[in-house]
Amino acid sequence: MIKQFQLLFSISRSNLIARRYFVVNGFDGALTMLGLLMGFYVSNDDVVLHMVITACMSAAIALSVSGISSAYISESAEKKQELKELEGAMIADLQDSAYGQAARFMPFIIAVVNGLAPLIFALIIMTPLWLAQCQPELITYPIETSVVVAFILIFFLGVFIGNISNSFWLWAGVRALLIALITSLFIFLISLI
């Protein structure tokens, strides 16, 4: 069973595609959460924690559903096209082969990875908010703590990307962190207008 999975991943190169989607949509999720949290942080009104959690959770769910549906639609179309081209080259029906199985099954896996990545990142970033709601004395500044968690996650995501591209891990992490800082700066500047 595991070997069959490995074969399907190998022939469809789905492991590389899933990894790319995980990074891209995970980064999307983390940056969206950071944007939302910065928005709440820079707004002068008193923010109710429950509202922050609901807004962040809604955004995370929307990102997840969007990730699942968009990846499934695009990947299944892509894999069907690839299979059709290969069948043309082979002059054979490959529906019952591993290629046919991969074309039917792999879009599901890739869609789940694409959808879960932003959700997982968002849930990690939101952890301080939940903790503060359950135990207010535990975390005094929940939004600020979540922002710090978001920065840390984005840094590690950068390190992960650096590992993939075999570049220096610290520079890759700092580069991702810079993107997050610039985003935060933009939001901060907009709040001054």
Q: Tell me the DSSP string of 66-121.
A: HHHHHHHHHHHHHHHHHHHHHHHHHTS--TTSHHHHHHHHHHHHHHHHHHHHHHHH
Say which residue the tokens 């700092």 belong to: 174
Cβ distance to another protein smaller for residue 93 or 137: 93
CA atoms within 13 A on the CB side of 122: 26
**CB 114 → another protein: shortest distance, Å?**
22
Which spans of this chain sit near another protein (rule: CB under 8 A)? 3, 7, 10-11, 13, 85-86, 89-92, 94, 96-99
**CB 86 → another protein: shortest distance, Å?**
6
Cβ distance to another protein smaller for residue 97 or 127: 97
Give the CA distances from residue 158 to residues 63, 111, 177, in Å, rounded to whole numbers and listed in that order: 20, 22, 8
**CB 94 → another protein: shortest distance, Å?**
5
Cβ distance to another protein smaller for residue 22 or 99: 99
**CB 3 → another protein: shortest distance, Å?**
7
Cβ distance to another protein smaller for residue 63 or 103: 103
Cβ distance to another protein smaller for residue 10 or 54: 10
Cβ distance to another protein smaller for residue 15 or 127: 15
**CB 113 → another protein: shortest distance, Å?**
20
**CB 25 → another protein: shortest distance, Å?**
26
